[in-house]
Amino acid sequence: MNVSSIVVQALPKHIDMLVEQFKEADYVDYHVHDKEKGKIIVTVEGEGVEEEIEKLVKIQQIPEVIAADMMMTYQEDELDEEIKRLEAENPVPDVLQDENIDPKDVVYHGDLRHKKLGF
């Protein structure tokens, strides 16, 4: 399950109507707004990024919405997979464990996992 926050920008005169629309909608959860600044904070949930993007586009297509942008996202399944991948990796690159390599021969390019020897 993914959850993302969206900041919706609109003219102050449209904020009350948009807030009511978001409160009644089944594709978005309303949280807070600032009428003077013309901003509304909502969240959307989805099984994947594609579903969240569809909901974002639906918000962006409302005529009174000037802009709607995803600000933060939490991707539960993808995060779990990435944590497993990182835990499975050797935290110390092989080049640092090879006693046959003279450290002076290692050319550093910002990533020791993809090192190049300076021979």
Topology (CATH) of 2-78: Alpha-Beta Plaits (3.30.70)
pTM of the model: 0.64
DSSP type of residue 25:
-
State the pLDDT at residue 119.
45
State the pLDDT at residue 19.
98
Going from N- to C-terminal start, the domains of the chain cover 2-78, 90-117
Q: Which two tokens stand for residue 49?
A: 């990024």
- Report CA-CA distances (Å) from 115 to 39, 60, 88, 91, 111: 48, 45, 20, 15, 7
10-residue averages of pLDDT along the chain (119 residues):
94 98 97 97 91 95 97 76 77 76 74 55
